[in-house]
Amino acid sequence: MQQLETASSTAEVNQFLSFTLGAEEYGIDILKVQEIKGYSAITHIPNAPPHVKGVMNLRGTVVPVVDLRAKFSMEPVEYNKFTVIIVVMVGEKIAGLVVDAVSDVLNVAASEVRPAPDFGARCDTRFIKGVVSINDKLAVLLDIDKLLRDEDVAVGA
Amino acid sequence: MAKTILIVDDSSTMRTMVSFTLQQAGFAVVEGSNGQEALNKLSGQRVDLIVTDLNMPVMDGITFIKNVRSQAGTRGIPVLMLTTESHEAKRREGKAAGATGWIVKPFHPDKLLSTIAKVLP
Amino acid sequence: MQVDLSRFRETFFQESAEHLAEMEAGLLRLDQGAFDSELLNAIFRAAHSIKGSSGMFGLEDITRFTHALESLLDRVRSGEVAITRKLTDLLLRSTDLLRELLAAGSAGAAAPTRMEGVLEELCVAQRAETYLDDKPRTRQTDHAPASSQAAAYRVHFRPPADVFLQGMDPLLILRDLAHLGESSSAEIDISALPTLGELDPERCYLAWNVRLETSKSVEEIRDTFAFVEDGAEIRVDPEVSTPVAATPGPAPSAPAVPAASRDASIRVATSKVDKLVDLVGELVIAQSMAREVVENFSPARMSQLQEAIAQMERHIRELQERVMSVRMLPIGHIFGRFPRLVRDLSVQLAKNVRLEMAGEETELDKSVVEQMSDPLTHLIRNAIDHGIEPVDERVRQGKPEQGLIRLQAFHQAGSVVVEISDDGRGLDLERIRRKARERGLIHGDEPLTEAQIVDLVFRPGFSTADQVSDLSGRGVGMDVVRKNVEALNGTVNLASEPGRGSKVRIQLPLTLAILDGLSVRVGAETYLLPLVSISESIRPRPEQLKTLAGRGEVVMVRGNALPLLRLHRILGVPTDVDDPSKGLTVIVEHSGQPLALLVDELLGQQQVVIKSLEAHYRKVEGVLGATILGDGRAALILDIAGLAQMTRRAAGSELAA
């Protein structure tokens, strides 16, 4: 489990949890993150969209697991014991996001966030809050609410 | 030593509320849901005051009061009747049967306590 | 001293609901012709109780209404007002209104406007007596009206001779009198005292003259003698001529009772709670035993550990059952309003119907009971509307004039069964078939078994009512009944004998959240099937497997062709077992129809706790819920009805392709 440090909040600084999918770096609002889990058995759900991998047992509650690689139409990878699941809470609903690895907690000033480019982004720009430059790399900040509420996924519909 | 009050009423809501009020004020409370039950309770323990409804099944209030007054062990116990506004005749009947006083329903719990204070030394 | 009664509001409403039910039951019996004074007294007492308690909470509308009701009932039981149909009608309508008043009072809403009209009727029904404008003189105030000047009074008090026999001690009155005033002095008058020989110790011969200085009013002074006024000599005369202007202070308003919304709650027998407490205690003991073994473990103690754990399991299981049983309510809870419903409907539809109920004490989970209310109501309406024939038709058929509807509930092998039967005309199969064809539910002249025709009644959009009668045709249909029952993991079936009657049989699981399941393997996944739907499981021989034109794959079992559902296909799970004769088919029942489900392997029976899938995801067709298995994995619990639906659709699209 990761240690999540709290920020000394100055105005306009938000915290994001960054993680990797393939070669890309992404971030989601830390306030939505409930916990980070190692991989646990996922039970298949019949006739679900391809990015809804199934459900898992989170301390007695059954929550859906979304594979972000599939959602962004990337190549699937084999799940193993190093796979990480980020448990997020959107509204009243809890869901797990399968990612390759978790990187860091980023303190991002609102001024540093640039709007998403119209092209070249792997994922649908609907789900992007913006991009931010970290150590020469570009991290894509995701709007996790939109992503999970998306009709496509229909999680929490 | 705490004084004991017997509350007789077939409504469990009423009994619960009266008990609560009396216990808060430091009284010990015994309950009966009709006259017969109340008499049974009286035969088993000492009671300093009786508060009784008049309209009850099995044995109604008036009969109960008459019984209380006719038994040596309970003759002198002050009895307060729970009466309703319009039934003045009932109240007189109760008095004639030997009731000490009355409380008109609906009553505020404070009124219950102050009326009790009037008849309990 | 402030006493806060608001915590008792909830109890008041619960108790009043019970009193109301008593009143209604009594009035119905009265309506049926039963008459005895004890019945009338019981009805009166119920109204009286509600009135008395409502006043304590400042529910003036309820107090006012029940007062009028009580006055009328009083006259009825004293014989001054005759019991007629019109009267019982009025009284029953009043109980309806009272029910609404209680609901409004509980929600803090205003009383229904028709209250005044009914009140008026109640008064008129009392005939002679003018309605006493009895706005409850709220709480006789203890707060003295502010009066500024202290004045002196001379009070003469001779108690009635029998004051002791009334349990009153005159000294207490004098004490109260003294408390009223700033100063007082008393003088005893023993003029009436006889000699010792003549003295009766139980009579009072004494009198007192009291000089009292007080700022209280004459009224308040006289008030101290309230209990002994009859038969006593009381004089209160001001000593000083200045009249004490007793300006009555504002009466204190009734204690503000917040119109709080009620939390859902249940009444539980204390014995149930006691047993739970015991069980938890035993569980704690078992657990500490297990802990002890673990802390001082040696291989030799393995069996002890196993025993300790087994014991914990037993206690936990029992605890589970008992906690669920806390939520159990007798189904009589909802049966209660049916006699009234039947009576009203019979009158409305001009039919003669009697309702018999049995098994009201049968217990079910609280929410199941609540959700059964609408379906049962609909079924009873149906029975009266469509089932029971009008009197002349019944007579023509040699049936008794009065139709009978029987409502029965009982436990049967881990389920609760509710049956509604009537001795009416039964189902007209031809008519059903015709209507189904008209509504496009079936096509052509395909052969249908009787059971299948009957089942058509449950299809959405079906109604054989010639006119959509206001009662049964309105939006609720048999399909909704079935949906409601199935949502509770139950089943509903309909059987009938033309001309003799019909019977609806509803089977419900005893508890909601725990399911007895059969776990099966399909590919790498484990699923649970509700045991209650399963009849048997077989490994079919190759010759039992056929494919029928228009029907798809079937398994022949004892001469019947059962549709084969390949779970691996429906659920989208890869498996090696493609040949049903190499796997297992579990025969389940759905809507009176058997189905065969193909699985890889049977794993075993287990009782599981149903976890919601919708809580964090959404409803999935074919899936009833999820559960956590012993190894921590989540497993889906399958919904037979959903699976059948999915298969039908797939078959339909295959045919279309």
ipTM of the complex: 0.83
* pLDDT score recorded for residue C241: 47
pLDDT confidence band for C466 (50 / 70 / 90): very low
Name the minimum distance, in Å, from the CA of B47 to any CA of chain C.
Answer: 13
* pLDDT score recorded for residue C468: 44
Going C83 to C84 to C86 to C91, the CA torsion angle's sign is positive
**A56 vs A63: CA distance, rounded Å:** 6
Interface partners of chain C (CB pairs < 8 Å, 3 or more) are A, B
Residue A9 has pLDDT above 50, yes or no: no
- H-run or E-run covering C151: strand C151-158
Lowest mean pLDDT among C365-374, C459-468, C592-601: C459-468
Residue C635 has pLDDT above 90, yes or no: yes
Domains and CATH numbers, chain B: 4-119 (3.40.50.2300)
Helix C37-56 to helix B12-24 angle (10° resolution) is 40
| C399 touches C426 (CB < 8 A) | no
- CB neighbour list of residue C390: distance below 8 Å, 6 or more residues apart: C350, C351
Domains C151-238 and C514-656 alike in fold: no
| C257 touches C9 (CB < 8 A) | yes
Contacts 24+ apart (CB under 8 A), C495-500: C495/C454, C496/C426, C496/C427, C496/C454, C497/C426, C498/C425, C498/C426, C498/C427, C498/C428, C498/C429, C499/C397, C499/C425, C499/C426, C500/C423, C500/C426
Residue C290 has pLDDT above 80, yes or no: yes
What mean pLDDT do residues A36-55 have? 89
Q: Which CATH superfamily is domain C151-238 in?
A: ACT domain (3.30.70.260)
Residue A7 in domain: no
Residue A34 has pLDDT above 80, yes or no: yes
Q: Which CATH superfamily is domain C514-656 in?
A: SH3 Domains (2.30.30.40)
What mean pLDDT do residues C469-482 have? 61
CATH number of the structural domain spanning residue A96: 2.40.50.180
Q: In chain A, what residues touch C573 (CB-CB under 8 Å)?
A: 44, 46
**B109 vs B112: CA distance, rounded Å:** 5
pLDDT confidence band for A5 (50 / 70 / 90): very low
| B19 touches B44 (CB < 8 A) | no
Q: In chain C, what residues touch B17 (CB-CB under 8 Å)?
A: 5, 8, 56
**Is any Cβ of chain C less than 8 angstroms from the Cβ of B27?**
no
Say if the Cβ atoms of A43 and C636 lie within 8 Å.
yes
**Domain ranges, residue A54:** 14-149
Q: Which CATH superfamily is domain C6-125 in?
A: HPT domain (1.20.120.160)
Q: For the segment C112-171, what is each residue's pLDDT rounded down to a tens digit? A: 888 888 888 888 787 643 322 232 222 223 333 444 567 888 888 999 888 888 888 888
What mean pLDDT do residues C284-312 have? 85
* pLDDT score recorded for residue C184: 76
What mean pLDDT do residues C245-270 have? 42
Residue C454 has pLDDT above 80, yes or no: yes
A31: which DSSP letter? G
Model-wide pTM > 0.80: no
Residue C255 has pLDDT above 50, yes or no: no
* pLDDT score recorded for residue C412: 75
Residue of higher predicted confidence among C652 and B14? B14
Three-state secondary-structure class, residue C95: helix
High-pLDDT (> 90) share of chain C, %: 14
What mean pLDDT do residues A10-17 have? 76
Q: What is the mean pLDDT of chain A?
A: 80
Q: For the segment C499-548, what is each residue's pLDDT rounded down to a tens digit? A: 899 999 998 876 556 677 899 999 999 999 988 889 899 999 999 999 88
Residue A131 in domain: yes
Protein fold of C330-509 = Heat Shock Protein 90 (3.30.565)
Q: How is chain C split into domains, by residue range?
A: 6-125, 151-238, 271-326, 330-509, 514-656
Residue of higher predicted confidence among A83 and C367? A83
Surface of C (574-633) touching A: CB under 8 A: 611-613, 615-618, 620-623, 626, 628, 632-633
C297: which DSSP letter? -
Q: For the segment C42-80, what is each residue's pLDDT rounded down to a tens digit? A: 888 888 888 888 877 778 888 888 888 888 888 887 777
Strands C601-609 and C403-412: unpaired
* pLDDT score recorded for residue C264: 59
Q: For the segment A60-107, what is each residue's pLDDT rounded down to a tens digit? A: 778 999 999 888 888 888 887 778 999 999 887 899 999 988 888 888
What mean pLDDT do residues B45-72 have? 91
- H-run or E-run covering C518: strand C514-522
The number of distinct structural domains making up chain A is 1
Residue A77 in domain: yes
Q: For the segment A115-144, what is each residue's pLDDT rounded down to a tens digit? A: 877 665 566 677 888 888 877 788 889 998
What mean pLDDT do residues A47-61 have? 86
pLDDT confidence band for B84 (50 / 70 / 90): confident
Three-state secondary-structure class, residue C127: coil
Q: Do chain A and B touch: 3 or more Cβ pairs under 8 angstroms?
A: no
Residue A133 in domain: yes
Residue of higher predicted confidence among C82 and C211? C211
Say if the Cβ atoms of A47 and C621 lie within 8 Å.
yes
